[in-house]
Amino acid sequence: MKKLKRIGYIILIIIVAILSLTIYTNASKNDEEDTKQKTLAEVKYVEEKLASLCNKMNNIQVKNYKVITSELSRKTTEKLSENSSSGSGSEESSSQGNSSGGGSSSGGEETSGGGSSSGSSSTGGNSSSGGESGQNEEEMQKFELQSNGVLTNNDDIDWNTIKMEIENLYTSIPSITMDLYQTKINQADILAFNNQFDNLTSVVKDDKKEPILQELTKVYDFLPKFLKASEQEELYTTIIETKNNVIKAYSKLDSDNWEEISNDVKNAINSYSKLLTNTTIPKEKQYNISKIYVMLNELQNAVNLQDATVFLVKYKNLVEEFGNI
> How does pLDDT run across 106-124, given as a tens digit for each residue?
444 444 444 443 444 444 4
Question: Are 181 and 22 contacting, i.e. CB atoms less than 8 angstroms apart?
Answer: no
User: Cα–Cα distance between 304 and 262 in angstroms, integer?
Assistant: 8
Question: Are 85 and 153 contacting, i.e. CB atoms less than 8 angstroms apart?
Answer: no
Q: How sure is the predictor about 85, in pLDDT bands with cuts at 50, 70 and 90?
A: low
Q: Which residues pair with 73 in a beta bridge?
A: 139
Give the lowest-confidence range in 18-32, 55-69, 200-214: 18-32
**pLDDT mean across residues, the chain:** 78
Percent of the chain with pLDDT over 90: 48
256's torsion region: left (phi>0), alpha (psi -120 to 50) or beta?
left
Question: Are 325 and 240 contacting, i.e. CB atoms less than 8 angstroms apart?
Answer: no
Q: How sure is the predictor about 231, in pLDDT bands with cuts at 50, 70 and 90?
A: confident
Model confidence at 279: pLDDT above 90: no
Q: How sure is the predictor about 36, in pLDDT bands with cuts at 50, 70 and 90?
A: confident
Give per-residue pLDDT as tens, 127-183. 444 444 444 445 555 545 445 566 656 678 899 999 999 999 988 999 899 989 988
Give per-residue pLDDT as tens, 52-72. 999 999 988 876 544 445 555
pTM of the model: 0.68
CA 152 remoteness from chain centre: 20
User: Cα–Cα distance between 39 and 321 in angstroms, integer?
Assistant: 24
Q: What's the pLDDT score for residue 125?
A: 45
**CATH match for 233-325 among 1.10.150, 1.20.120, 1.10.10, 1.20.950:** 1.20.120
Q: Which residues pair with 140 in a beta bridge?
A: 72
Q: How sure is the predictor about 219, in pLDDT bands with cuts at 50, 70 and 90?
A: very high
How far is it between the farthest Cα atoms of the chain?
A: 137
Of 141, 144, 142, nearest in space to 65 by CA: 144
The arithmetic mean of pLDDT across residues 7-34, rounded, is: 70
The residue with greater pLDDT, 79 or 303, is 303
The residue with greater pLDDT, 313 or 34, is 313
The residue with greater pLDDT, 127 or 214, is 214
Q: What's the pLDDT score for residue 299?
A: 96
Expressed in angstroms, the distance from the first to the final Cα of the chain is 69
The arithmetic mean of pLDDT across residues 79-98, rounded, is: 50
Q: What's the pLDDT score for residue 241?
A: 97
Query: What letters, b where the CB count within 10 A reaches 16 and e where it falls short, cover 163-193?
Result: eebbeebeeeeeebbebbeebebeeeebeeb
Model confidence at 251: pLDDT above 70: yes
The arithmetic mean of pLDDT across residues 312-317, rounded, is: 94
